[in-house]
Amino acid sequence: MKLPAYAAVPVAAALLASFTGAAGTPAARAAGAGALPGVDMEATVKAAQIDPRRSDDELTPGAKAGVLLVERALSDRNLLDAKWVDGYFGTTTVAAFAKFQKSLGFTGLAANGLPGKASLTRLGADRFRVTHLIGPGARVSAGGFVIDTRTRGMLAEAKRLLGRGLVLLQGSYNPGGDPTSAGTHDGGGVVDISVEGMNSATRTAVVRALRRVGFAAWLRSPDQADWPWHIHAAAINDTDLSSQAQHQIGDYYLGLNGLAGRGPDDGPKVTIRTWEEYQRG
């Protein structure tokens, strides 16, 4: 049916608006969202693990812009004093983010102060968009222990690199477990691995492979505490990490051994990367 001449103009205008992004159209909303600044979740979560462990004011590379956006949003909600809006995701910012998570009704690991996907997206509504999204995935069983799917993928790749299997001694999400673990296994991303039957070279090779795929990993000996020989591994940037495991990963980036005494790292040296950075090559 041919439209009357007087109808052609508004119809054409409506069609043009849908493509050019007139206010209120899907195209406009998409354009508006794209115009928002981005917060790199990977870099921001990394900063939240490393910055609280620093004794200086050095910023985590690549994180400053995103952390500033997060801190401004927290400050505008009266959760963070303006003097702490500095691009440094230290203990004060971690505590403020945990308060925000609790204000959303989150509890437990979902309110651990690490910017999780849901809480970071909620904080950024109409302020910033979240890029490089990461998450631990679902909880699954592995070797009789509970871990998350992200950790399972990391372990599978380490096994592939080694050409051998790995036996777990302790998994994740294990509050009230081995007291010598000091709470590091309370959340996700953390496992203990048996070294039974391994010689010194093999132990080192296992730690190196775990580090390559994104774990902060160390060989633990009975000389350090009341525990058997084993390898302790914590997955960098697992957003379900307990606060104790977060501290271990921060110390790993700072060249330390992840123990309470904060001694020098005694493991093999590798380029430190997250699981996502490893996958991108």
Which phi and psi angles does 235 have, rounded to 5°?
Answer: -75, 115
Tell me which amino acid residue 29 is.
R
Residues 113 and 73 in one domain: yes
Task: Report the candidate in 252, 232, 235 with the shortest Cα–Cα distance to residue 180.
Answer: 232
**Sequence-separated (6 or more) residues with CB below 8 Å from residue 138:** 148, 149
**Does residue 112 sit in the same domain as residue 152?**
no
* Same domain membership, residue 124 and residue 48: yes
Q: What is the pLDDT of residue 12?
A: 40
Tell me how many domains the chain contains. 3
Structure tokens at 54: 């620093």
Phi, psi (rounded to 5 degrees) for 162: -80, -25
pLDDT tens across 198-220, in order? 999 999 999 999 999 999 999 99
Boundary (domain end) residue, out of 105, 131, 157: 131
- State residue 179's pLDDT score: 82
Give the contacts of 87 (CB within 8 A, at least 6 positions apart). Answer: 59, 63, 64, 65, 67, 68, 71
Contact between 170 and 142 under an 8 Å Cβ cutoff? The reply is: no
42, 27: one domain? no
Q: Are residues 93 and 177 in the same domain?
A: no
pLDDT of residue 27: 42
Strand partners, 232: 192, 218
Query: What secondary structure does DSSP assign to the chain, as a single string?
Result: -PPPHHHHHHHHHHHHHHHHT-TTSHHHHHHHHHHSPEEEHHHHHHHHHHGGG-SS-PPPTTTHHHHHHHHHHHHHTTSS-GGG-SS---HHHHHHHHHHHHHTT--GGGGSSS--HHHHHHHTTTT-EEES------EEEETTEEEEHHHHHHHHHHHHHHTS---EEE-SS-TTS-GGGTTTTSSSSEEEEE-TT--HHHHHHHHHHHHHTTEEEEEE-TTTSSS-SEEEEEETT-TT--HHHHHHHHHHHTTB-SSTT--B--S-------HHHHHH-
Q: Rounded distance, CA 101 to CA 240, Å?
A: 13
Same domain? For 150 and 216 the reply is yes
Q: Tell me, yes or no, whether 149 and 22 share the same domain.
A: no
Do 50 and 26 have their domain in common? no
255 dihedral zone (left: phi>0; alpha: psi -120 to 50; beta): left
The reply to whether 144 and 276 lie within a common domain is yes
Residue 140: what are its φ and ψ, rounded to 5°? -135, 170
Which residue range(s) make up the domain with 207? Answer: 139-280
Query: 193 and 269 in one domain?
Result: yes
Instruction: Answer with the one of 106, 131, 156 that is the final residue of a domain.
Output: 131
Residue 14: predicted pLDDT: 41
Can you give the pTM of this predicted structure? Answer: 0.87
Residue finishing a domain among 112, 131, 150: 131
Instruction: Return per-residue pLDDT of the chain as tens, 281 residues.
Output: 444 443 443 434 443 344 344 444 444 444 455 599 999 999 999 999 999 999 998 999 999 999 999 999 999 999 999 999 999 999 999 999 999 999 999 999 999 999 999 999 999 999 999 999 999 999 999 999 999 999 999 999 999 999 999 999 999 999 977 788 899 999 999 999 999 999 999 999 999 999 999 999 999 999 999 999 999 999 999 999 999 999 999 999 999 999 999 999 999 999 999 999 999 99
Q: What is the pLDDT of residues 215-235, one digit of tens each?
A: 999 999 999 999 999 999 999
Quick check: 93 and 67 in contact, CB under 8 A?
yes
**Do residues 164 and 269 share a domain?**
yes
Q: Are residues 23 and 85 in the same domain?
A: no
